[in-house]
Amino acid sequence: MKTINDFIFENKKALIRVDFNVPLNDEFKVTDATRIEAAKPTIVKILEDGGSVILMSHLGRPQGVEEKFSLNHIINVVSDVIGVQVKFAANCIGDDTEKAAAELQNGEVLLLENLRFHPEEKAGDKIFAEKLSKLGDIYINDAFGTAHRAHASTTIIAQFFPENKCFGLLLAKEIESLNSVLHNSKKPVTAIIGGAKVSSKIDVIKNIIDKVDNIIIGGGMAFTFIKVKGGKIGDSLVENDKLDVAQDILNLAKQKNTRIHLPIDVIAADAFSEDANTQICDAFEIPDGWMGLDAGPKTNIGFSFVIADSKTILWNGPVGVFEMDKFSKGTIEIGNAIADATAEGAFSLVGGGDSVAAVKQFGLAKKVSYISTGGGAMLEMLEGKTLPGIEAMMK
Ligand code: AMP
């Protein structure tokens, strides 16, 4: 695996695929610059080597050219983060852009307009990829968030740089962190898998089941498991068409000697609402008319105990409806237990939109070992798939 540390960028133009798909508010101001900050180390290394940088990214899901998705909204934030006034090319391909790239001086940065203004980007069009490739001497992929897509700028372009291509520092770190959880991991390894539905996490659970010692299953998806084990789940979320899958997972876990931990008690509510009445009840004895919306106190103690005893921890998905204060305690306790275990020397990796949001919301971002920047890409890696953007760099 080649990274930017294998190259010296003096007098070179680095063409970097970054993930600057950042949230904007109604006034088109960036509300969270995490993704831009995450790309900074790669950009800075190139500039310090004496090279120049051409940045390409998508933003949102435009249908053709749509001003609200223009990357010109983020020029100032990118400039502030990197510490260099960034130039802008109003189209990511074309004569003017080629000229701007050719004239770029060492130490300068050029940001290209939204790649997805051209449908060829998502289509993985080879001619479009070749046009992009003309802009730089060395291609760098530093966009983990789109590494699972075979788009022109993330995958197809790599073939035009047979020797001169490598991973940026962010992407290399993502791969390294996931590898240190799935392979080379210190035992005991614990995965906490939560969220609404088991259907979206089946392949993840099946792939990690023989790589981990414990799987904590929380959130809405736990009830499909509790039901198949004969529990009464009241009006809790359940996927009745996935009962057999849940049973398969339980059987597989037994075979592989992996312990599955389910909630033993829950905070049950009489409505899916912050104003609902609540009671603590046995997770296997939830009355009709009530739904489990958070892990209960005994569960929190049990889950925390498993986490405290772990040397490697992976967390994807909340164990309750953490967006509502009333049902956020279980998810907070998971976050705190992970933070404590990390302070004691465990390696912890948090990924997936909702758990990352939870970790940030509860002020734990600095207390975990690594926060993954790519939800879908991380899930696909956890499912054991080879990501096209990563594979293309290895050829
Ligand atoms: P996912 O996108 O599959 O990771 O699911 C995240 C969502 O699951 C969050 O919005 C949570 O509110 C929701 N969730 C967690 N626990 C429950 C539960 N017990 N019942 C319903 N929804 C839940």
Choosing from 353, 360, 367, 385, the catalytic residue is 353
The per-residue pLDDT for 348 is 96
d(CA 189, CA 212): 5
For ligand 1, say whether the CB of 351 is within 6 Å of any of its atoms: no
Domain limit, last residue, from 138, 172, 206: 172
Specify the pairing of strand 52-56 against strand 13-17.
parallel
Q: Are residues 16 and 85 in the same domain?
A: yes
Mean pLDDT for the stretch of residues 346-357 = 87
SS3 199: coil
Residues 139 and 207 in one domain: no
Mark whether 11 and 148 lie in a shared domain.
Answer: yes
- Position 139 in a domain: yes
**Which ligand 1 atom sits closest to the C-alpha of 323?**
12
Give CA–CA dist 18/30, Å, rounded: 16
The rounded Å distance from CA 209 to ligand 1 centre is 22
Q: How far apart are CA 185 and CA 204, in angstroms?
A: 17
Whether 9 maps to a domain, the answer reads yes
The 10s digit of each residue's pLDDT in 215-238 is: 999 999 999 999 999 999 999 999
Least confident span in 57-71, 231-245, 272-286, 375-389? 375-389
- 308 and 218 in one domain? yes
- Arithmetic mean of pLDDT, 204-211: 93
Shared domain for 122 and 214, answered yes or no, is no
Whether residue 200 is found in the same domain as residue 135: no
User: In this structure, is residue 121 part of a structural domain?
Assistant: yes
Q: Are 195 and 164 found together in one domain?
A: no
User: Is the model's pLDDT at 375 over the cut of 90?
Assistant: no
Instruction: Please check whether residues 155 and 287 belong to one and the same domain.
Output: no
Asked whether residue 177 is assigned to any structural domain, the reply reads no
Whether residues 161 and 98 share a domain: the answer is yes
Question: Which CATH number belongs to the domain containing residue 352 in this structure?
Answer: 3.40.50.1260
Q: What is the rounded average pLDDT of the residues 363-375?
A: 90
Query: What are 18-40's pLDDT values in tens digits?
Result: 999 999 999 999 998 989 999 99
Res 184: pLDDT: 81
Q: For the chain, how many structural domains are there in total?
A: 2
pLDDT reported for residue 97: 98
172, 204, 232 - which closes a domain: 172
CB of 197 closer than 6 angstroms to any ligand 1 atom:
yes
Does 33 reside within a domain? yes
One domain for residues 158 and 190:
no
**Per-residue pLDDT reduced to its tens digit, 301-314:** 999 999 999 999 99
DSSP state of 3: B
pLDDT at 357: 84
Cβ of 200 closer than 6 Å to ligand 1, yes or no, is yes
- Which of 242, 294, 354, 356 should be mutated for ligand 1, with most atoms under 8 A from CB? 354
Q: Are residues 128 and 199 in the same domain?
A: no
Instruction: Give the CA-trace dihedral at 115, 379, 247, 256, to 10 degrees.
Output: 150
Determine whether 186 is an active site residue. Answer: no
* Minimal-distance CA residue to ligand 1 atom 12: 321
Would 11 be classed as within a structural domain?
Answer: yes
Q: Is 353 known to be catalytic?
A: yes
Spacing, Cα 271 to ligand 1 middle (Å): 15
Q: For residue 353, what are its two tokens?
A: 């939109």
Question: Is residue 373's pLDDT more than 90?
Answer: no
* 389 catalytically annotated: no
Ligand 1 binding pocket includes 218 (Cβ within 6 Å): no
Q: CA neighbours within 13 Å on the CB side: how many for 18?
A: 29
In a domain? residue 395? no
In a domain, 178, yes or no: no
The residue among 172, 198, 218 that closes a domain is 172
For residue 313, what are the domain limits? 185-382
Does 311 lie in the same domain as 206? yes
220 C-beta closer than 6 A to ligand 1: yes
CB of 320 closer than 6 angstroms to any ligand 1 atom: yes
pLDDT tens-digit series, residues 57-69? 999 999 999 999 9
Measured from the Cα of 223, ligand 1's closest atom is: 19
